[in-house]
Chains A and B, each alone.
Chain A
Amino acid sequence: MKQFARVVLTRVAPPLIASAVFVGLWAVAIQLFQVKSFLAPMPGDVWRVFVRERETLWHACWLTGQAAVFGLLLSVVCGFVVAAVFSQSKIVRYSLYPYAIFLQTVPIVAIAPLLVMWFGYGGSGVIAVAFILSVFPIIANVTEGMTSVPRSLHELFDLNRASRWQRFTKLQVPYSLPYLVTGVRTSSGLSVIGAIVGEFFVGYGGDGFGLGYLIRVTAERFQTDQLFAAVILSTLLGVMIFAVVSFVAEKCLSRFRAI
């Protein structure tokens, strides 16, 4: 019980209090500067939208969240494999790393038609965009981890005449796990952005209305309170995925740290 109280006090309460303060300041600022409601809604209006449209919002959150999570998982798996390959050969790394950077920097607008051609309209296209936006931090971080194992640990393996595979699985992979966690933390937010952007270009078809679609529609109709609700929900989705990732990471990394 005491443990639970501690968790609530240190982890849950501070962000809630910060949010409450922020919401308060928000309301005050709108009144103070006489901001028109079509530019920025009062917190109360946004709350009303959450209550009134909760089914639509929940459904949208669920769709976008699924795409984001699948995109993220795909990023972790593929990113890890690519990093593994990069870590084993300088030549491969030097030749192909720029393409990994390309994934990071290419504007989705430019490759959206290609993605639609390969994956069609629908969930797989959205997941593809989420993947593309979130894979690079994984590749970059894990490659860094695998290639920055200290010389002395490598020598330990040299002395014992370890094979390449043994060195990879018993040294480089475990060593790179904290780096993987850093990468996944970064990618968790990006995967949500990716899912939303993906929805702009690919959509789900039929009655699949994700958060990206809601953002587009409500902006088109000047429904700023609903727009804010969708945007806030997108932020919360990103935060939630980040929180889950952090929680899992802490469990895995407890072996590495003195916490």
Chain B
Amino acid sequence: MTSLSRRIIAQRLGVTFPEGQTTLSEIDFRGDPGEFVSILGPSGCGKSTFLRCVAGLQKPTTGSLLCEDEEPSASRIAFVFQDPNLLPWRNVHQNVGLPLELERQSSEQIAVRATDAIQLVGLEQNDSSKLPHMLSGGMRMRVSLARALVTDPHVLLLDEPFAALDEISRQMLNEELLRLWQQQGWTTLFVTHNVTEAVFLSQRVIVMSRRPATIIDEFTIDFDQPRDAELRGTPAFAETTRRVSAALRGAMS
């Protein structure tokens, strides 16, 4: 599975909702191909709105958003929601294969690629026929991730995907996500509240202000790849986390 990751450029992006609140204001953003960028910010500041603009789910009111110099709709953009958002009447395999089904691929193709995606996220083959209500929260998240990856996307967007999980599951999934990213190399935007997570995963961390949101700070995280669990214990990591937290705290006040 190879992916042709794409660059994202937002220029003076703004979103004002019909009810009147301006959520995003003058966002200038650039994500290079294959880059992993995290977005931090106070609750409700508009980070999800920004992500949804990139996904094409939200039309910007002002400014422009391009994906490799084209409209986002021309690219394959995968989105992982905070809620796994699985269709409860479909089993794991059928859920994962949904995007390909909607693309009208042949059932043989779907079977192969879905199976691969399921394997990729660390699920067992005999989980394939299980229904969502039989799975734990963490497993459902993996299915959601597999579904996102099955289309071999140009861009991967994640909106606080692990927020509902316990700490250990979260850490494990972070490590898995990172490993996959190293393998596949998609341009990845990751929205989170969790500073440790952001620092661990990303090459760059962006901090947004309160609504109307603008980008108030940016950090380059240059720890070596591949990163592993032990990184979290190092002093350098702690220092970076401290600096980023301070910026976030500043954004909150």
The answer to whether A and B come from one shared complex is yes
- Of the candidate stretches B98-106, B187-195, B218-226, B230-238, the one touching chain A is B98-106
Least distance between B62 CB and chain A CB atoms (Å) = 22
User: Which residues on A sit within 8 Å (CB–CB) of B172?
Assistant: none
Which residues of B78-127 are within 8 A (CB) of A? 78-79, 81, 83, 85, 87-89, 98-99, 101-103
In the complex the two chains form, is A153's CB within 8 Å of B103's CB? no
Q: Give the total number of A-B pairs whose CB atoms are below 8 A apart.
A: 45
The answer to whether A157 has its CB under 8 Å from any CB of chain B is: yes
The answer to whether B215 has its CB under 8 Å from any CB of chain A is: no
What is the interface size of chain B, counting residues whose CB is below 8 A from a CB of the partner?
22
Question: Which residue from A153, A155, A166 sits with its C-beta under 8 Å from B102?
Answer: A166
Question: Which residue from B81, B85, B88, B99 sits with its C-beta under 8 Å from A255?
Answer: B88
Q: Cα distance A153–B101 when bound, in Å?
A: 15
Q: Cα distance A109–B151 when bound, in Å?
A: 60
The answer to whether B131 has its CB under 8 Å from any CB of chain A is: yes
Least distance between B131 CB and chain A CB atoms (Å) = 6
Question: Which residue from A159, A162, A166 sits with its C-beta under 8 Å from B56?
Answer: A159
Q: Cα distance A256–B85 when bound, in Å?
A: 14
In the complex the two chains form, is A157's CB within 8 Å of B89's CB? no
The answer to whether A156 has its CB under 8 Å from any CB of chain B is: yes
- Given the interface contacts A152-B81, A153-B85, A255-B88, does A160 sit within 8 Å of B131 by beta carbon? no
The answer to whether A158 has its CB under 8 Å from any CB of chain B is: yes
Q: Cα distance A160–B102 when bound, in Å?
A: 7
In the complex the two chains form, is B85's CB within 8 Å of A152's CB? yes
Chain A residues with a Cβ under 8 A of chain B: 152-153, 155-162, 166, 170-171, 174, 177, 255-258
Q: What would 7 more interface pairs be, CB under 8 Å, given A157-B102, A161-B73, A256-B133?
A: A155-B81, A156-B85, A156-B98, A159-B57, A160-B99, A256-B89, A258-B133
